[in-house]
Amino acid sequence: MSFLILVRHGQSVWNLEKRFTGWVDIGLTQKGEAEAEKAGLLIKEKKIDIDYYYSSFQLRANNTLNIIQTILDDKKIFTRAWQLNERHYGALTGLNKVEMSKKIGEDKIYEFRRSWDIKPEALDRKSPYHPINIDIYKDIPKEVIPDTESLKDTYERVTKYFEEEIKNKLRDKNVLISAHGNSIRALCKKLFNLDNNQISSLEIPTGNPLIIELSTNLKIIKCEYLDRERAKNLVVF
């Protein structure tokens, strides 16, 4: 038996401002830091020894994990993987969701946000928001850095990394991943065998640990959000 704990980062500045964030490095709000602290306390109550920690390349997920580890008094070095990054929102990056809904329509914004294989227009590679112009990605080969992504694209990179680097550890070790709404949605699609319609309705709350108990053959025994007041429906379990 083992545990996989999935935590979406606490509220970020651009979450608060309702902007498409994607791969841009944005910090946590005070509320986001408080959400991370509560996540750490809820995990601590479970008395689970975490063997491996993973996060994306992004500050908001890294800072959330740092806060959690501080509360757990665990100084293990965590693995940062760009493959666990948020979905790249292409030319929508940095734009306000409400303003864009008024400009191009709520249905179109919903389609961009929730559809399986539709992606926004590519982000200009000269944009300061493009990952090739952000210092933390300087050692990532430019040919693998996207200009835009659909949820399907995000799913493919996240689950490939999970299969290659994390899955086998879960046969007898406990793992915590601090990542993002869409990278966690991608993992949930795989873990819970969601279809393309089910994934469109799955919401991942900020800073609320989803704890998944697994058998030695990696079958899900049970799962739950630790902060029950902010739990979202798991459409399959």
Neighbours of 1 (CB within 10 A): 10
Instruction: List the beta bridge partners of residue 188.
Output: none
H or E stretch at 220: strand 220-225
Q: In the structure, how many helices (H) and strands (E) does the chain have? A: 8, 6
Residues with a known catalytic role: 9, 86
Neighbours of 30 (CB within 10 A): 10
C-beta of residue 210 within 8 angstroms of C-beta of residue 3: no
Closest CA to 166 of 176, 151, 154: 176
The four Cα atoms 41, 58, 192, 166 give a dihedral, to 10 degrees, of -90
Task: Report CA-CA distances (Å) from 163 to 86, 155, 174.
Answer: 18, 12, 15
Q: What are phi and psi of 205, to 5 degrees?
A: -70, 150
Q: Tell me how far the alpha carbon of residue 214 is from its chain's centroid.
A: 20
Q: What is the DSSP string of 10-45?
A: PPBHHHHTTB--TTS---B-HHHHHHHHHHHHHHHH
Amino acid of residue 5: I
